[in-house]
Amino acid sequence: MWSFSNISDNIHDWLSANFNATWTLIIEMVIAGTLVIGLFAMLGLILVIMERKVSAWMQIRLGPNRVGPKGMLQSMADTIKLMVKEGMTPNGADKIMFNLAPFVAMIVAMLLLAPIAFAENFQLWDLNIGVLYITAVSSIMVISILMAGWASNNKYSLLGAMRSGAQIVSYELSAGLSILAIIVLTGSLQVSEIIESQRNGWWLFKGHIPAIIAFVIFIIAVTAETNRAPFDLAEAESELTAGFHTEYSGMKFALFFLAEYVNVFIVCGLGATIFLGGWMPLHIGNWTGFNNAMDYIPSSLWFFGKTFFLIFVIMWFRWSFPRLRIDQLLNLEWKYLLPISMVNLLLVTLMAIMGWHF
């Protein structure tokens, strides 16, 4: 079957035949970086129009319908508008930190893409601590938000940044424990090995009820970590104007906006990889005929299909639930999600030791 790995192998073979090892590596890294930037741009365009169409569908209205066929080019028009807008810097702002914060957000998002397996044998960096790498690097995202809020010299921005810091640090615990529950079952932090362990079934089904509990907690926690409604206290329009990016405009605002959607894609890609097998087709035990039929679907379609399904679920949250208060948000984490996650991790550990999973 056609796959991305065939293209990458052909490019590598051609470069190796025409350049030495050093230049081959440099050119491949440049190509990879260019593709990542292109992926970011495409994700921004696709996810913004998807958000608007999903919200319109749930609210029984048309949504964007002017620019392009059925409004599908509305994101392109918004991008052009942001590119030509003037970027303003407040007089009392710390200009270096203020201008650096959006780029830190984008750099962190780019780093997070490295271990994600987009298809079979198509991965930027299959390091042996891939999941730990993602959870560690994602923690840096809060620094860009704190930088933006503090450097803006705006009380609303500072309050939004402090809320975001408390929120992200809190919900990282539950998200990490949910991931750790599946790591206990797989016995590895390497993304390729986690996917391979699901060849005879995805962990969401093989792990019984504890895996389902971990999955539900993971989805709730990453929704809060990415500052998505109903957990968008960091940019609550009704009370904080726009939160930590109140003072941002033009391309600096666009970078924060894009980083949010890319982060949603990354956490959903991670969830699809850990709980739903990533690029692995749906295999059921020894059902050879069914499994062979599933293998005809390209691995990249499996990964992107699962990822966009989880993105749809997170968008569904936004247009279904009202925004929480900050005390409700922290109570949900510390009084409910964290204790449940800890007990669930003990159950998964017992299940792994006793071999009770499929």
In a domain, residue 207? The reply is yes
In a domain, 336, yes or no: yes
pLDDT tens across 43-78, in order?
989 999 999 999 999 999 988 888 888 888 988 898
- The two tokens of residue 221 are 């926690």
Any domain includes 77: no
Q: Is residue 22 part of a domain?
A: no
Predicted TM-score of the model (pTM)? 0.91
CB of 278 closer than 8 Å to CB of 257: no
Query: What pLDDT does residue 53 have?
Result: 92
Tell me the two tokens of residue 174: 């539950």
User: What backbone torsions phi and psi does residue 5 show, to the nearest 5 degrees?
Assistant: -60, -35
pLDDT digits (tens, 9 = 90+) for 195-251: 999 888 899 988 889 999 999 999 999 999 888 888 887 776 666 677 788 888 888
pLDDT of residue 68: 86
> Distance between CA atoms of 87 and 249, rounded to whole angstroms?
5
Q: What angle do CA 127, 221, 339 make, to 5 degrees?
A: 105
Q: Which domain holds residue 185?
A: 85-354
Residue 9: both structure tokens together: 């192998």
Number of independent structural domains in the chain: 1
Beta strands in 85-176 (DSSP E): 117-119, 122-123
* 194: in domain: yes
Asked if residue 261 belongs to a domain, the reply is yes
Task: Look at residue 75 and tell me if it is in a domain.
Answer: no
What is d(CA 119, CA 117) in angstroms, rounded to the nearest whole number?
A: 6
What distance in Å separates the CA atoms of residue 92 and residue 192, rounded to the nearest whole number? 49
Structural domain contains residue 55:
no
pLDDT value at residue 358: 60
Half-sphere exposure of 221 (CA within 13 A, CB side): 28
Under 8 Å between Cβ of 333 and 173: yes
In this prediction, the residues of the chain whose per-residue pLDDT falls under 50 are 1
